[in-house]
Amino acid sequence: ATFIGIDINKLGETALGPFLFKDQIISCFLSLVESFEITQLAMSLGEILEPTIKGFISDGIDGIVNDVVKAIFTMYEDSLLDALIGIFDTTFREELSMLIRDYDDKDCIEPRLRDDMIYIDARDLLLVPNEAKLIGGSATSPYGDIPPLIKGFYDEFPVPGSLLFF
């Protein structure tokens, strides 16, 4: 479970343009976040493979060490599983929350469109650059690389009864 506090005023003032570029989505979203906390991180483990140790002086010593490790592992496997789950839900969860909260690259850069762009060119908006160029588009993805991804997904998995045609 996750708690995310977003500044609603910043959200209202943020332009949509930067969110249309894959390389800016995370930084733009995080620029709006005022508070972030992963409140629960559940994990389940079925089993842990028994460790094998190699590389001692001889195969005999390898065998003795592996027998000792196997005995210890067999005695403490359940405790180790419980400890790993606990570490995952405490230390790992807290560190992940802190990493996301302290993410430094929180700039949300507004893309600059050319001054002569009066209209939105649907070719550049909806097609990947090489396809847009084939039918007369600029092939520069001036509106971001997310709209062509959405269109490609829609083309691949159309919604039955939808009125959208591309």
What are the pLDDT digits (tens) for 62-83?
888 889 988 988 888 888 888 8
Q: What is the pLDDT of residue 164?
A: 58
Report the range of poorest mean pLDDT among 20-34, 76-90, 109-123: 109-123
Q: For 53-65, what is each residue's pLDDT tens digit?
A: 777 778 888 888 8
Q: For the residues 142-159, what does the mean pLDDT come to?
A: 87
Q: For 31-41, what is each residue's pLDDT tens digit?
A: 888 888 888 87
Contacts 24+ apart (CB under 8 A), 33-37: 33/4, 33/5, 33/6, 33/7, 33/101, 34/5, 34/6, 34/7, 35/3, 35/4, 35/5, 36/2, 36/3, 36/4, 36/5, 36/97, 36/100, 36/101, 37/2, 37/3, 37/97, 37/101
Q: What is the pLDDT of residue 104?
A: 60
Residue 148: pLDDT over 90: yes
CA–CA separation, 137 and 118 (whole Å): 14
